[in-house]
Each structure stands twice: as C-alpha cells, then as structure tokens.
Structure 1
Amino acid sequence: MNDAGADTPGGRDNETTVPAETAVARRQVKLELASKEHLRHVDDPLHEDISAVAKAGNSLFLACDETATVERVVRLDDDRFGNHRSFSLGDIFDLPAGPEGEMDIEGLATDSGYLWIVGSHSLKRTKPKREKKDASDALDRMTEIEREPNRYFLGRVPLLEESPGLYAPVREAGGRRAASLKLSRRKSILIEWLHDDPHLAPFFDIPSKENGFDIEGIAVKENRVWLGLRGPVFRGHGVILELELKEKSEGVLKARRIDGERRYRKHFFDTRGLGIRDLRRDGQDMLMLIGPTMALDGHCHVLRWLDATAHATSGVVHADRVEDLFELEYGLDRDHPEGIETWREGGRTMLLVVHDAPAEHRLDKGDFALWADLVDVPPRPRG
C-alpha cells in the first residue's frame, strides 16, 4: 500500500496499490461433513454454506450462517478432517430467539482456551423470490426488514481438551466458563454502546449487503477483541472495531471504556471500497480478508496490518502500516472467500481459506465434503 497524495482524479488520500499477483493454493484440505438429513437444524447442505472457521490443535471449528450451532471436524490425516460433530449454542446460552433461531454466525476465533463467536448484528431484507411470487408480491416482500435477536451475539465458550488435540466447546472447563454480551430480545448491547457514534449510527437501520452495519470477522488476544465490518464502508475505507471485554458478572461480558467515554476504538483502512470479510491475528499483526460489501461478485484480497496489537488509538491507519499481500481467486455467483485461519507447518505460515457457495470443483456431494485452500503468506517485512 502506498500514499497517492492529494485526492485527485485517478487517486485519493492514502490510496491502496493493488498487486497483480493472485494467490495460488499450495494444496487443498478436505472437510468431511454430515449430510443435512443428519442435521435437522440445517435447511441447505452444510458443506455449501460455511461462513467462518477457527482452529485449535487437531480440531477445526466451522459455522453456518443459518444455524445456532458450531460444527467440529477433527484431523484424520495431514489434509483431511472429518468425524463431524455439531454443538448447539442453545445448550450453553439462553438465546433470545431460542436454540433454533438463526444466529448468522460470521466470525470464529480461538485464544487462551476459548472459542469466540460473533453474529453479524445486522438487519436482513426479505428476498423477493420472483420465481415464486408475481411482480407485485415480490416488490412488497422487499419492503420487509427482519430483526433476528440471535444475530446480536458476541461471546466465548471454554474449550475442553477431550484427548490430545481434540477440543469441545462446553459451558465450563478448568475454571473457565461461557460468557457473552448481555442477551435481549429487544436490543443489542453492542449497538447501544455505538448508538451515538458519528460514523456508524446512520447505518444501523440499513440491512446487510446494502452497506448497513454488518460484522463479518473477529480476532482476539486475551481480553482484546477486534470486529471486522463488512459494512459500512466510508469513502473507500473499511472499519475494524476494537473492544476490551471482561466478565463483570457471571456469564456476562462488558466492555471497558478505552477511548474517552467510549467503550470501543475505531480503526479505518483504505480498502478501495471493499468491506472486511474476516480477521485473523498473526502474532502482533492482523490479517484481513476484504471483499465486496454489497451482494455482488468482486475482488477479494488479504491485507496485513502491521503491529496491530500495538495500535491503541482510534483513527485512520496510515498506508505504510498495511500491506496488500495477494488477491484470492473468486468465482461468478459462486466460490466467494468467506473465512480465513492461519496454518503453521514446517516453519511456513499459510492461510486456510473457506468459501461460501463453493464452486462445483470444491464439492463432493456424495460425501458431503468440500475442499478448502491453503495459500502461502509472504514473510513479514523486517523492521
């Protein structure tokens, strides 16, 4: 990323230089999941609807944006995970819309013995379903905006090591217990903290995929939590929110005041109009998957925010602190990069990439399996 100088035709302040390189998968990892007949909470085949990924030991956790569950597959050999098991978050938390209510889980992360989970916190406009409705009914449907309270979830669950490298999310383990932001059918406590924000407040009543408020990534370091926003995007700049969360009462997390009277920091990045689709902390740095904010096909890149954990003030992050590492392959109408996780092997750092609406070449419908990509992460620059 380089500065482009003044905001003039053909350039703008803090402009990103987009590299021509597209990452090529070093190899692929097979994820074997159960068929939907064995998962009554799933309307569509789970392996075609993965929205988030996180790794702990030999366990890989996945989420589908239409359920209130976390899925686990375990390493069977170097490049194959299976023995799928589904964990209902309704068994751990008293979810406001019940255990069957859609959570729209868009981010998973593991840190310090916990699995962190975040819902989109977004509104949803009803699809027109023109193939099933006449033109007038389809138009009327598009006036309907849904608010689903389970989407307003941000919390963590302890990971219990059942055997070496095999972890399960549980209510309590080793003195650690499950906790979340205060849950309510009527409101989101996170949006309450943000309600008067001069940048974000105008976007809370706009649905997701229309540049409305929409969380799609999470990264964690102990009690520090970063949330990547798919939307809104401001003058080409994507946003990461940072919180410091502590358990103030049993099972309830609350954010400290860390920016004057505010309980959050805001970090803006020149993303050339793209939203943040996932986050992953890599040591002191932050890897960011960026892609289209709207419901459309478009470029997807991975950026590296250098020394992110040392950045403790709100503001626009300077271009010299951000690298554009590579572009990821994407398809038309399908095969959109949706989740990332770091993968260490033989002294090499790679990135595991999972896709929403995966292309046919990623699927094995007979086995209800899909293939995720492993791509090399360029070395961190010295100094």
Structure 2
Amino acid sequence: MRPRGLVALLVFCSLSHATHAGQCARAPLKLLAEDVSDEQAELSGVVLLDGGRKLIAVSNEGLGPDGRAYMAQVFEGDPKDGYTHSHNERIYEPDGCKEADFEALAQDDDTLFVIGSHSQNRKKQNKNETRAENFRRLSADGIDEDCKSRDKLRKFRLTDGEKVETLQKTSLRDLVDHHPVLKRFATLPNKENGIDIEGLAVFDGALFVGFRGPVLRENYVPVLRLPTDLDRIEPDGESDGALFVNLGGRGIRDLAPGPLEEKALYILAGPNGDEKQNFAIYRWDGRDQLGGNGHEPDIRQPLCEIDLTDEDKRTKHKPEGLAYLDRTPSALRFVLVHDGEVELKAEIITIRE
C-alpha cells in the first residue's frame, strides 16, 4: 500500500468569553504513515506523550492492514516538523463484531484509557434496495444486534518495549442501562439521539466520560464523572449520577484537560446527528451546569468555531480528537485530529488570545 500522509490539527483558542465566538484559522501538522488501512485512517482520539515527542492515536474502526484489531497507533516526531508512524499496538480482541468503535483516548501520566461508543447502530437507507427493505431498516429490525466490542473501557500502558500492558478493563453498559437519565436512550441508534460516547479525559482526579448523544431538552449533554480505578465503577449507576453541560445543541466529540494550573477541561463539540451545525471548542471548569435552587446555569460561549470546508463535506472529514499541546505568549495550542474517508485529510485550526 502506498504511503499516506495524514494531517492533524493545531488549534489556537482564545480564552475570552466573547458574545460571538471567533473562527479558527488553519495550518498543517503532518502525520506520515505507510501501509495504513482505510479504517485506521479514521482517527477519533489522540494524546501526546514524552513532551510532545510521541503521538498516540486511535481510530473508530480499529482494523490494521492485516485485518486484525489494533486500535493504538504510535507516531514519533514533534509538533514543529510533524510525526511519522512507528507501529501499531493491539489493545483488544473483537467480541461479537470486528468494529470496536473506539472513539476517545485519555492520558493519566504514563497510563492510557480508551473507550468505545457503547452505541447502537441503524442500517442506512439504500436506493438500490426495495422499499420494503428500506422500511425494515427504519423499523426495530434495522438496528444492528448488540456489538459487545463497542462496550469497552480499557486502562493500559505502553511498556518500555512499546508493548501494551492491559491494567484494567470494564464496560459501562450496565451503568448506562440502569442510569436514571441514560437508560431511556440505551436502545436508540446513535444517530437518533441514542447513547454515543465520544469524549474521555482524566481531570481533577477523575475519569470524565462525555456523550455525543443524547442531547437532552434545553441542549443539556451528560458527562459521567467516574473513578480512574475501573474496578470501583458501580454497575447499577446509582452512585455515579451525571454532570450536564450546555453546548448550544451540539454533542461532545472529545474532551481534553488543559495544564494543571488552569483547572480547565476543553470540549470539542459538534453535531449529534446530521444537523447543519459547525464544530466548536469550549472551556469548562468541570462543574455541573444544570440550574436549580434559584440559580441560573452558567452557560459560556465557545472559544472558537470550526466551519467545515466544501472539501470536508465532499470527503466527509470532521474533527474527532483533541489534545492540549502548550501555551505561547499569545495563544493556547492544541492538537486536533479528524476522521474521514480513505485519504484522510485532517486539517488545521487557529485562534489567538
């Protein structure tokens, strides 16, 4: 397979809370790779290790060039000159279907977390099928059978030999199915406001799990705050509650903690389904935005907005993974990666303070 050059996104975000968010400007950061399958090109999560000298990415399909499930892609280099693909690491075995649908990656020192969408999927309409078949696809029969491969939450480490050491593994399926808010959406397809996990971050000593869907009435989006010790997660959901953020009707596409002194969690937000919304980046302090007891919720404007280009729409590129990079005298910098089709052209984006 011929070499494929992938591009990640550098995002420079203003920290001011203007009435109208500014647009992010764009510039490339190269990710070079050979023998990358189309599935691996659909990047959906990213972290930076070793002071930015190593970039780890996951893809939401997760099949390597030999058809085996890998998920963790290791790149080496730096943000200035770009990154070159080093190797892939397997972090799971398929269970029920090949598609793990891993959507997010998080870092806690030398420990990594990866999570699947925990979603249901409806088969798309097909103009070459009969009307009866397309009607069936709109019915309950058109929802794919449960895929246990999607219901994964893994805690792992890359060892000195660059091999994966699995530390803990669990599923949030039981928690979702028993949760007083989330359980109503557990059997709905992910593009029809059903459960769809796409954000993950370690922040304030906890594991934050962000949902692309459901988006609830008045635009609230749930975030679970869970222990980083996966064995302590309560399967009945009674002790885990939920936080809520308001992203103007958008869902969470990723979460990225800022530097410790800022005590900020950055949210990459985008459309939940096929809504014609742009993507945006928000700064959040990790506190619940749900109002009550006489207090109105503190809803912030996005720091910057990301409009998809005509080329993006044609090739179905969209922002999927966000990682904090550093601060300059005039900007806060992030790495943002996209997924897309075949020749993934991840873009670049910028806003200054």
Tell me which interval the TM-score lies in, with the shorter structure as reference length.
0.7 to 0.9
2:270 matched to 1:281? no
Residues 22 and 75 of structure 1: CA distance in aligned 2, closer, same or farther (over 3 Å): same
Asked whether the 8 Å contact 1:118–1:153 carries over to 2, the reply is yes
Cross-structure match for 1:340: 322
The CA deviation at 1:205 is 0.6
Residues 322 and 123 of structure 1: CA distance in aligned 2, closer, same or farther (over 3 Å): same
2:238 matched to 1:262? yes
SS at 1:290's partner residue? strand
Q: 209-218 or 316-325, which moves further after superposition?
A: 316-325
Gaps of 5+ in 1: 1-15, 37-41, 163-167, 172-176, 182-188, 248-252, 379-383
2:36 matched to 1:61? no
Residues 34 and 222 of structure 1: CA distance in aligned 2, closer, same or farther (over 3 Å): farther
Distance 2:267 2:254 in 1: 6
Distance 1:229 1:319 in 2: 19
Distance 1:321 1:137 in 2: 44
What is the identity, as a one-letter code, of the residue corresponding to 2:333?
M
Identity over aligned residues, as a percent?
A: 23
Deviations 1:319-369, CA, capped at 9 Å, x for gaps? 5474521111224353321111111265653121212227xxxx9x5xxx7
Distance 1:196 1:77 in 2: 43
Cross-structure match for 2:202: 220
Match among 68, 71, 88 for residue 90 of structure 2: 88
Q: 205-214 or 74-83, which moves further after superposition?
A: 74-83
Cross-structure match for 1:203: 185
Cross-structure match for 2:4: none
Match among 168, 175, 186 for residue 179 of structure 1: 168
Asked whether the 8 Å contact 2:60–2:103 carries over to 1, the reply is yes
2:274 matched to 1:295? yes
Distance 2:190 2:196 in 1: 6
Distance 2:338 2:267 in 1: 15
Asked whether the 8 Å contact 1:33–1:46 carries over to 2, the reply is no
Distance 1:196 1:316 in 2: 24
The CA deviation at 1:210 is 0.8
SS at 1:288's partner residue? strand
The CA deviation at 1:154 is 0.7
Cross-structure match for 1:9: none
- What is the TM-score when the length of structure 2 is the normalising length? 0.78
SS at 2:178's partner residue? coil
Distance 1:211 1:273 in 2: 12
Cross-structure match for 2:157: 158
Distance 1:217 1:355 in 2: 14
Asked whether the 8 Å contact 2:94–2:100 carries over to 1, the reply is no
Match among 120, 124, 130 for residue 123 of structure 1: 120
2:211 matched to 1:229? yes
Larger RCO of the pair (alpha carbons < 8 Å, separation 6+): 2
The CA deviation at 1:117 is 0.1
What is the identity, as a one-letter code, of the residue corresponding to 2:164?
V
Asked whether the 8 Å contact 2:220–2:245 carries over to 1, the reply is yes
Gaps of 5+ in 2: 1-16, 63-68
Asked whether the 8 Å contact 1:34–1:84 carries over to 2, the reply is no
Deviations 1:158-217, CA, capped at 9 Å, x for gaps? 13245xxxxx3511xxxxx52111xxxxxxx42322333332111001010110011001
What is the identity, as a one-letter code, of the residue corresponding to 2:127?
R
What is the identity, as a one-letter code, of the residue corresponding to 2:108?
D
2:303 matched to 1:325? yes
Asked whether the 8 Å contact 2:182–2:195 carries over to 1, the reply is yes
Asked whether the 8 Å contact 1:244–1:256 carries over to 2, the reply is no
How many residues end up aligned between the 2 structures?
313
2:164 matched to 1:170? yes
Asked whether the 8 Å contact 1:51–1:63 carries over to 2, the reply is yes
The CA deviation at 1:316 is 4.8
- What is the TM-score when the length of structure 1 is the normalising length? 0.73
Distance 2:39 2:152 in 1: 24
Asked whether the 8 Å contact 1:292–1:298 carries over to 2, the reply is yes
Distance 1:70 1:261 in 2: 29
Cross-structure match for 1:11: none
Cross-structure match for 2:229: 246
2:111 matched to 1:110? no
What is the identity, as a one-letter code, of the residue corresponding to 1:279?
L
Distance 1:62 1:87 in 2: 10
Cross-structure match for 2:7: none
The CA deviation at 1:140 is 2.6
